[in-house]
Amino acid sequence: MEAFLSLEHMLRHAWNMIFQGTVKRNSPLREVVLSTIDEHGVPQNRMVILRKVEVADRRLIFFTDYRSGKINDIQSSQHISLLFWDSKKRVQIRCVGLLCMYKGDSLSKMYWDRIPKQGRGLYATIAPPGTPMPEDGVYMPPDWEERSLPETDMIAYPNFCVLICEVSKLDVLHLGREQHQRGGFHWNGNSWSMKWLIP
Burial class (CB in 10 A: 0-12, 13-18, 19+), 162: buried
65: CB partners within 8 A, 6+ apart: 122, 123, 125, 128, 129, 159, 160, 161
CA distance readout (Å), 184 to 27, 44, 127, 160, 199: 23, 24, 42, 34, 10
Boundaries of domain holding 108: 7-197
Q: What percent of the chain has pLDDT over 70?
A: 100
Q: Let me know: does 188 contact 179? Beta carbons within 8 Å.
A: no
- For residue 1, being part of any structural domain is answered with no
- For residue 190, being part of any structural domain is answered with yes
pTM of the model: 0.93
- Give the whole-angstrom CA distance, residue 78 versus residue 1: 35
Binning pLDDT at 50, 70 and 90, where does residue 181 land?
Answer: very high
Give how many domains the chain has, as a whole number.
1
Note the pLDDT of residue 199. Answer: 95
CATH number for 66: 2.30.110.10
Q: What percent of the chain has pLDDT over 90?
A: 92
- For residue 2, being part of any structural domain is answered with no
Position 163 pLDDT exceeds 90: yes
Work out the mean pLDDT of the chain and round it to a whole number: 95
Position 116 pLDDT exceeds 90: yes
- For residue 15, being part of any structural domain is answered with yes
Note the pLDDT of residue 93. Answer: 98
